[in-house]
Amino acid sequence: MEKGDVPGSGPGQAPLSYPAHTLPYEVVLKELSTRLDEGLTPDEAARRLQTYGPNKLDEGEGVSVVKILVRQVANAMMLVLILAMAVSFGIQSWIEGGVICAVIVLNIVVGFFQEYAAEKTMESLHSLSSPTGTVSRGGQTFSVPSAEIVPGDMVELRTGDTVPADIRLVEAVNFETDEALLTGESLPVQKDCDATFKEDTGPGDRLNLAYSSSTVTRGRARGVVIATGMATEIGSIAAALRAGDSRRRPVKKGPNGETKKRWYVQAWTLTGTDAVGRFLGVNVGTPLQRKLSKLAILLFGVAVLFAIIVMASNKFASSNEVILYAVGTGLSMIPACLVVVLTITMAVGTKRMVERHVIVRKLDSLEALGAVTDICSDKTGTLTQGKMVVKKAWIPAKGTYSVGTNNEPFNPTVGEVTFTPVPPVRFDEEEGSEIVDLEETATNDPRLEEFLNVAAMANLSHVYRSDEGEWHARGEPTEIAIQVFAARFNWNRDRWTKGESPVWHQKAEFPFDSTVKKMSVVFTRFDGETERNMVFTKGAVERILDACTTVIWEDASTPTALTDDHRATILQNMEELAKLGLRVLALAHKPYTEANRLLEGADLQRDEIERDLCFLGLIGLYDPPRPETAGAIRACAQAGIAVHMVTGDHPGTAKAIAQQVGILPADLGSVAADVADAMVMTAGQFDKLSDSEVDALPTLPLVIARCAPQTKVRMIDALHRRGKFAAMTGDGVNDSPSLKHADVGIAMGQAGSDVAKDASDIILTDDNFASILNAIEEGRRIFDNIQKFVLHLLSENIAQACTLLIGLAFKDLDGQSVFPLAPVEILWIIMITSGMPDMGLGMEIAAPDIMDRPPQTKQGIFTWEVIVDILVYGVWTAALCLASFSLVVWGFGDGDLARGCNREYSAECDLVFRARATTFVCLTWFALFLAWEMVDMRRSFFRMQPGSKKYLTQWMYDIWRNQFLFWSIVAGFVTTFPILYIPVLNHVVFKHTGISWEWGIVFVEAVLFFLGVELWKFAKRVYFRRVAGRKVDHGVQG
């Protein structure tokens, strides 16, 4: 924000006397009329939101009415209809041309409103997954959508956050941001809130500012918002990019900048093909949408080929009847409502997922979820409740403290604390425990006091009691649990660091880092006229032990050297606590003698601070599994999905929880030794293996403990090499590589960082593992339904095309082919008879056994079963339609096809018109019956529910269950009658006439069609049972 820009506020830009990076933050706070601790009042924030506008980049017009309208025309299917309309009008077939025109308009209108609604749904879902920011308003700190952040807001930032606006920092602790998106700088930039800079300093060197859209890679900070939306630095870049946006391919240039004519031609050609691809939809949308667009182009080519065949069979006669027959045959291959039905199905699916706590960020994931074979899940907060409580605390110089169970994890006043004077490894020798007088114990015990100092100070969480008397906490679950434990002894952080006379003053902080697995703070304590500097550290036991050189052991009152025997004993006690399912951390401290460095404000190095520590003890935390986790994991196993726990916890803890929820067998001793060894590994063990050694394992690990980010990526690679389809959960910054690498990346909506959410495909709003199962079930349902309506549509296309092509043999007295189906009849069946039931199939609920089946194959929707079904149903339908036409004309009629019966009705053409009407009714009924049969591709229509034995009545419940499909099919039956019997409409438009005795043929053929479909499904069930039986026999023999 330059000086010349600031007078008079604009959208997203607050007025300042000079650019913010040139001013001390106190001045910026004053000019923005905000208070350091309390921030803006809620009323003032609301007023500024009206003044400055929402904090978001200008994304154009959002849902574009024009673009949606163009998309209804810009597809191969619609081009066939337009071409058919033009041909019809060209040969002065006004009725056919008018009907095709009406169908085009209807398709555009229905498609437009359905896609517009779908786009609006997706837009609302996108807003649900929009980033949030933590602000202080009126003295309260809470999260708000980033779009509601205004200039003057006080914002808190921590590792993993995306900076929501341009911010002038007022506090920064080891704070670094990744500004590669803004400046191209590949390394994180360390910030300095106290510095000021010259006005002409470039954005990358303004170290007192944090920029919108950059990510926090380390540390924490607070700051005041100075610009939002398009007034931010990233906003100005976005505006410049939008102004220069072009879809033209660049012209290739030589080393010296020269160009050649052929390079211009190449660029123009590529630009043209890109434009055509976008127009036809083959290079936009999801993989399935692109695949179906390519299918449409293929069918367009087939339609043209069939039209040529019709013309050739009639010796390329230029009569209107032959041309109309060619048009009808071409139309028969176009599933015109396919794209619309697909769009609606996906929109409905994404909306249903929101109700099941899943937000879809990328539509591709809807297609991928049904094929997931393995889920790699974090433990804390996903498989478990994420509400940790301290259960055990072991101090070597004293003994073990145990905390009783209670239902208020944030309340330090409930639950008894007992003391046992033995370490965890000797619990079986317990000499008896005693209830502890908490506050008195802490003040009279220097060893416990040292332990509690670390628990309370090396901790950024806050535990407090509201005015209503309820206990609340803010911070990470692990730190909250440890802070609550310290608060039980009245030793929480706020008591010692806040108030009028704080005892401890923080000088430096080194936040938790997943690479070092430690967190440290440096504090100064004033005791009268003297002061004492201390380093407090907590973290993973192995990492803390590596940093310790001394320990206060058993009855010793002063530190002694930490020996190998001490280390072995500590690790044994850690194992004992881990076997109880506890997450174990170690606490340590040391005096810091370089006081002069604190006074000088020197840049303290983490390695220097976190070494030569004194080991104080272990603390064991329990995060109980979610009640629904075990059931969800059993359901995954039933669905053929393997669950892997990838966690940073100790192997013993991870193993105990994994056995509790069913990831591991309760008795590993019953498993072969090599398999049991492979089931549980540490990241160190797994990473030491080469790819070939990992591939040689009898099974991939079901539990990987002490897991690092790169280990997760290796695990996904190992799954891919075994042909698996992997989903990965994550919540931290370092999880983003594995989330992107997985086939489906799943971020946590509550505990997840903005970086993890941006890298993910879906977001769980409740951070619950069971919601992953919901997402997979919904993905399978969508996949099944897409298969159902694609199978139904293409079967009808095959049936119509076969009927018309074989019908070329039906020659009239002039030697011209008489079409068994008129063009308008074909359009009616494509758009109305099939279209609405296909939408109903897209809304079909999940089959009861959908999670009892293995994951879908990577073939997509066009499996061999679907392809064969399309051919079988299409050919069977065509055979019956041709039989109905033949029976009316030759079986019960005189076989006279007369002349000109493709053009108009006459007494001589009555037989042809009745045969055509019979064929039309048969095909209509077959299409409607087939829609009901497609509710399940293998089960009988009379018993679609697994386990049902009600052959006579079950089908009634099944067809009523999906009422949209039910009424669509009923409407299809009802509308047949006016089309047959209304004068003019029947003879002139549909080229058929009312029937009487022919209804007998319709009913008989309907029964035959039904029996044929049921017989085919029965044959499939027998075949697949035999295939499954052979696999089981092969497995037993193996």
Residues in CB range of 657: below 8 A, 6 or more apart: 379, 383, 384, 581, 623, 625, 645, 649
- 419 closest CA partner among 436, 437, 431, 442: 436
Residue type, 429: E
* Pairing verdict, β 680-682 and 504-513: unpaired
Measured in whole angstroms, how far is the alpha carbon of residue 669 from the centre of its chain? 38
**Angle, helix 629-638 to helix 651-661, in steps of 10 degrees:** 70
Task: Please give the structure tokens belonging to residue 142.
Answer: 């809470």
Residue type, 668: L
Buried b (16+ CB within 10 A) or exposed e, 537-573: bbbbbbbbbebbebbbbeeeeebeebeeebbebbeeb
Identify whether the C-beta of residue 739 lies closer than 8 Å to the C-beta of residue 717. Answer: no
Task: Please give the structure tokens belonging to residue 15.
Answer: 């007025």
Q: Which helix (H) or strand (E) holds 418?
A: strand 417-420
Residues in CB range of 903: below 8 A, 6 or more apart: 320, 321
Residue type, 551: V
SS3 content of the chain, % helix, strand, coil (to 5): 50, 15, 35
Q: DSSP string covering 878-937, please? A: HHHHHHHHHIIIIISS-----SSTTT---STTHHHHHHHHHHHHHHHHHHHHHHHHTTSS
Judged on CB neighbours under 10 Å (0-12, 13-18, 19+), 515 is exposed
The greatest distance separating any two alpha carbons of the chain, rounded to the nearest whole angstrom, comes to 123
State the Cα–Cα distance between residues 764 and 331, nearest whole angstrom: 44
Identify whether the C-beta of residue 936 lies closer than 8 Å to the C-beta of residue 984. Answer: no
Q: DSSP string covering 537-592, please? A: EEEEHHHHHHHEEEE--TT-SS-EE--HHHHHHHHHHHHHHHHTT-EEEEEEEEE-
Q: DSSP string covering 288-318, please? A: HHHHHHHHHHHHHHHHHHHHHHHHHHTTT--
- 843 closest CA partner among 352, 439, 483, 303: 352
Measured in whole angstroms, how far is the alpha carbon of residue 652 from the centre of its chain? 31
Tokens 């100092």: give the residue.
Answer: 453
State the Cα–Cα distance between residues 766 and 748, nearest whole angstrom: 7
- 340 closest CA partner among 747, 769, 855, 842: 842
161, 378, 735, 784: the catalytic one is: 378
For the question of residue 200 being annotated catalytic, the response is: no
**Helical residues (DSSP H) of 585-672, grouped into ranges:** 595-600, 606-609, 629-638, 651-661
Instruction: Give the dihedral of Cα atoms 983, 984, 989, 993; nearest 10 deg.
Output: 40
DSSP secondary structure code for residue 625 in this structure: B
- 508 closest CA partner among 524, 489, 496, 531: 524
Sign of CA dihedral 846, 850, 855, 856: negative
Query: Catalytic positions, please?
Result: 378
